[in-house]
Amino acid sequence: MVWNRLKAELFFKQQEKMSLYQKLRNNLPNTDELKLKRTLALAGLLTSVAFSDLKMSQAEKMQIESALKSWSALNPEEINLVTLMSEQEIKELSALETHFYTDFLANHLTVEERYHVLLILFSVAAASEGVSVLEAEEIRVLCKGLLLEHKHFIAAQSSVKESLNSLKG
């Protein structure tokens, strides 16, 4: 009985994840599937970090869009749509199941590309009022999900050391 309820809940959550992808696929039918999945996975991680302190500033939104523009081959209107839908998803669910995104990126990116994702995550976290402890911890968890080592986390974190709230008095 309990197992069936858990399976049903897991299935429902899987459907929610697929629905975000399906919404994007329906809105961007001519976009290459791999490019769309990569962009969605990165947008999901960026949004998760930006919202880890339960607020997302305009500066963080702009940094997410900027990162996606440099990362993906999508045009600005498509990036805006991906960003908006990811933001709506995280606000509706209060969380994203980031392991779907980290698993996908870990299996489709090189170590250097995954390290670059960490740098982008820290740049989004630093975009507004510095990197909070909650944001740093979210990135630490994502680092593990991306199958990167602790040294990658430390190196990426040092790129924004002047923005680390934990080091401020």
Q: Which of 30, 56, 72, 24 is nearest to 127 (CA)?
A: 56
Per-residue confidence (pLDDT) for residue 24, from 0 to 100: 87
Which parts of the chain register pLDDT below 70? Answer: 1-19, 94-96, 165-169
Which option is the CATH number for 2-167: 3.40.50.920, 3.40.50.300, 3.30.420.40, 1.10.3680.10? 1.10.3680.10
The answer to whether 111 and 148 have CB atoms below 8 angstroms apart is yes
- Helices 150-158 and 111-126 sit at what angle, rounded to 10 degrees? 40
Q: What pLDDT is recorded for position 95?
A: 62
Evaluate whether 46 touches 138 at the Cβ level (below 8 Å): no
Query: Do 61 and 83 meet the contact criterion of CB atoms below 8 Å apart?
Result: yes
pLDDT at 93: 73
Q: What are the Cα distances from residue 43, in Å, to 7, 89, 150, 162, 167?
A: 27, 11, 23, 25, 28
- pLDDT for 12: 42
CA distance 37 to 143: 19
Domain ranges for the chain = 2-167
